[in-house]
Amino acid sequence: MVLVEEETLSGTHTNCISVNDVTKSYGKNPALSGLSFSIPCGEKYSLIGPNGAGKSTTLKLLVGLLVPDRGSVSIDGIDPTTKRAKKLIGYLPEDASPYNTLSVRENLEYIGAIREVQNLRERVDQLIYEMGLSEYEKSKVSKLSRGNRQKLAVALSVIHEPDILLLDEPLNYLDIPTQEKTISIFDRLNATVLVSTHIMSIAERLTHGAIVISRGRTIWDGTMEQLKQLGDPTEAIEKIVMRLMTGAAPTH
């Protein structure tokens, strides 16, 4: 981490996440059309936008599960499909489903082994304990409740202590104590963070910056403070975001 910060200060490359003029369609169905933004190393941003805006697609491009039709994305200045980028990234998709054919502990051990995590046994014990999964460690994942499955997914996404976190609705299904626990686990990593969410209170808890997108384009970015200042002091942040989003819709 220290190294990254030094690099940031000396300006070798300041952006850990960058998306440059990216266009991506699924068949004929456009998802992103000329999306650009970047996130400096160590910063935490929310990716906010209406349903179908392209948030999940953006994250999949950044993990290297998709490739842009046009434009480019980079993680710490490199292509996300490379080995080095993969070591840096921790990714949690929306409605994450761990391996159904493995138990809770086997899931963590398997991904830990593939990620070449040092002191894997201790790390797995710690995550199982922290996420409150001790009584389920031998359970088949297919028999877990939705919330417990999400806890396991969170643990899997941080098992290698990533420097860059890409999270898609990370707190879905979790009860309130687990939400707090999860937030503290994410915070402890001191990572560069990009969180896709609809829930403004979660955005405010996890991040200090926001990127608002709609129809596959960036329509606003800045700090949470700046976002609040767009409205009057009594106005709820949801209202402000709503105005931004509806303002972005084409006016026929």
Partner 1 sequence: MQPRLIRLLIASRFSRPLIGVMIFVLVYSVLMGFFVPPEAVQMGEFWTYYIIGITAFFLILMTMIGGIAIMKSDLDYLFTLPLSRRELAVSFYITQFLATGISYVLLFGYVFIFIQGTSAEKLMLAGDMVLIGLLQTALSIVSFRLETRQKALLAGAMGVYALLPLAGFSYSFTSIFTGHILEGTIVIVILNVIFNYLALTQLSTIELGFTKITSIRSSAEYKTTEKFVGLSQRAAIVRRYLSEISFTGRFNLGGSVSVRVSRIRLRTLLIPVAAIAVVYGYFALIFNPADGSPGVAVVLSMMYLGIFIPMFFPEVFSHERAWLAFSSMTAKNYWTYIVYAKVIQTFAMMLPFIGVNIVLAIIGVSGAVNAIIYLGMVLPTSPLISLYFSGKYSPAQVIDMETLPAEFSLRQLATLVPVIFFTAAAIVSMFSIILALVCGAFFITIALAILMGNKRWNRIVYRLTEKGFV
Candidate residues 56, 139, 179, 190; the one interacting with Mg ion per rule CB under 5 A:
56
- Comparing CB distances to partner 1, the nearer of 13 and 86 is 86
- Comparing CB distances to partner 1, the nearer of 138 and 252 is 138
Q: Measuring CA to CA, which residue among 147, 149, 111, 152 is closest to residue 128?
A: 152
Structure token digits, residue 161: 């202590």
Q: Measuring CA to CA, which residue among 222, 207, 196 is closest to residue 45?
A: 207
- Comparing CB distances to partner 1, the nearer of 78 and 114 is 114
Site mask, ligand ATP, residues 178-217, x = CB under 6 A? ----------------------------------------
Q: What's the burial of 232, exposed, middle or buried (CB within 10 Å: 0-12/13-18/19+)?
A: exposed
DSSP state of 251: -
What angle separates helix 146-158 from helix 120-130, to the nearest 10 degrees? Answer: 140
Compute the least distance from the CB of residue 47 to Mg ion, in Å: 9
Run of H or E including 6: helix 2-10
Assess 57 for contact with ligand ATP (CB under 6 A): yes
* Three-state SS at 22: strand
- Comparing CB distances to partner 1, the nearer of 60 and 215 is 60
Assess 96 for contact with partner 1 (CB under 8 A): yes
Q: What is the dihedral of CA 76, 77, 78, 81, to 10 degrees?
A: 50
- Comparing CB distances to partner 1, the nearer of 108 and 240 is 108
Assess 13 for contact with partner 1 (CB under 8 A): no
Candidate residues 13, 115, 205, 217; the one interacting with partner 1 per rule CB under 8 A:
115
Assess 10 for contact with ligand ATP (CB under 6 A): no
Return residues touching Mg ion (CB under 5 A). Answer: 55-56, 94
